[in-house]
Amino acid sequence: MPLSRDDLQLDRQLCFKLYAASRLVVRAYKPMLDGLQLTYPQYLVMLVLWEWDERAPSQPTVKALGERLLLDSGTLTPLLKRLQSAGLVERRRSTLDEREMHLAVSEQGRALRCRVPALKRQLLCEHGVDTEQLEPLRAQLDALLRRMAEQLPS
């Protein structure tokens, strides 16, 4: 089916809507994250590490983290080094394969997690977000991400 002129309008582009929404969400999170002394990418890393703290995968490695966040090790390594310097993350070389870096949240990182729920509730409340209304969107985005990940080369 050929594209019409309207199909090429910016406001008809899903990619633009996702990009703009992502930027606005990150901007809305900024005051909360400033209070935690985290950047948004560092926050995403901490979310995964907090998950793993409760039920760790068999290999909590930089590679596994990259797969979970759809990021490469070149992007993750500087983030992890800063989080380690801040005392939030522990990084240890594998004793079986020194190329593998194992990750864990530190005690200080666990303590930080306790501050997040109240800040997140405040953020959602301030922006009038009804989390139940977001569930269908989350499910649609999950399906889109799966389809895109299956079709794009790694």
Residue 31, helix vs strand vs coil: helix
At 130 the pLDDT is 87
Q: Which residue type does 104 have? A: A
Ranges of each domain in the chain: 13-151
Residue 90 phi/psi, 5° resolution? -115, 135
Give pTM, 2 decimals. 0.88
- CB of 115 closer than 8 Å to CB of 36: yes
* Mean per-residue pLDDT, 131-150: 92
The yes/no answer on whether domain 13-151 falls in CATH 1.10.132.20 is no
- The rounded mean pLDDT for the chain is 91
Per residue in 127-140, pLDDT tens?
A: 888 888 889 999 99
Burial of 9 by CB count in 10 Å (0-12 exposed, 13-18 middle, 19+ buried)? Answer: exposed
Per residue in 52-106, pLDDT tens?
A: 998 877 779 999 999 999 999 899 999 999 999 999 999 998 788 878 889 999 9
